[in-house]
Amino acid sequence: MILKNKPIGIFDSGIGGLTVANAIREALPHETLIYFGDTAHMPYGDKSAEAIKYYSLKIAKFLQLLECKAIIIACNTASSLGYKDVKDFLGYNLPILNVIDPVVNYITQQGQYKSIGVIGTKATIKSGVYQSKLASALPHLNVKAMATPLLAPMIEEGFFENNISKTIINTYLSSPKLKNIEAIVLACTHYPLIQNEIRQFYNGKIDILNTAQIMALNVKQQLLEKNLLSDTKVAKHQFFVSDKTTSFENSTRIFFGNKINLQQKNIWSV
């Protein structure tokens, strides 16, 4: 098989990266995707930096062995803490893309915001990656970053579009830390699954930046520039998890229908 027709590898700590995979599928319907959800170690947001780097390297190596033509780190936490290590280890001949830089570039190109909120896991916010990159690109921008650690586990367990999720979301977004923002970055790929509830809270008063959609457009542009867009018409997706869970299987079917072969794979002893 020629390189351009090989699959795109995507990984995340759990179901969150499915929002990125789905956005890529919609933008690039002829591309085959191989997805790995590290459900055994979810959530990444409360793990150490060294653990996240280790998980990221092992998963990226697994996707490389499956001959992926590019690897998408569809997790803000892994992007902020594991991207450099993965790129240094695998990225000389293999495109490695993270979910942070496209969002920063998008905000920079917009150039219209004076104050912006960023919500994500503890690890992502603690890393300061959004704050530092946005400050470097837009020194005038007031970045208000806040960790929202309950959201990813809540979503992973299927609690969204209900009273529980509404209470937790409204409590977080009501924080004084996010006062007077003009836009908010959903700096966790789980969060697009609660985008409607976030939109309802703000009632159209601010822009909500969906990292999955921004990432999908970036992937399309990157593959186009590298002449790696598939010229086949049949996409055969594969889904792997480190621990098979009912919630992950149900979430996968929300995006990709019922015809899914979800495989549990132990990559840690390889």
**Does 68 participate in catalysis according to the annotation?**
no
Give me the residues of the chain with pLDDT under 70, please: 1, 91, 258-259, 270
Contact at 8 Å (CB) between 107 and 113? yes
| 63/36 Cα distance (integer angstroms) | 8
- Which fold is adopted by the domain 3-98+213-264? Rossmann fold (3.40.50)
* Given the residues 15, 42, 75, 181, the one annotated as active site: 75
Task: Classify domain 101-211 by CATH architecture.
Answer: 3-Layer(aba) Sandwich (3.40)
DSSP secondary structure code for residue 139 in this structure: T
pLDDT value, residue 208 = 96
pLDDT value, residue 16 = 83
**Does 75 participate in catalysis according to the annotation?**
yes
Size (the chain), residues: 270
The reply to whether omega before 43 is within 30° of 0 (cis) is yes
SS3 state at 253: helix
* Given the residues 118, 181, 188, 206, the one annotated as active site: 188
pLDDT value, residue 235 = 84
pLDDT value, residue 68 = 96
| Contacts with 79 (C-beta within 8 Å, 6 or more apart), sequence order | 73, 98, 99, 100, 129
The yes-or-no answer to whether 3-98+213-264 and 101-211 have a common fold is yes
What is the edge-to-edge ordering of all strands in the sheet holding 33-37? 96-98, 70-73, 8-12, 33-37, 238-241, 262-264
pLDDT value, residue 259 = 64
Domain ranges of the chain: 3-98+213-264, 101-211
pLDDT value, residue 126 = 92
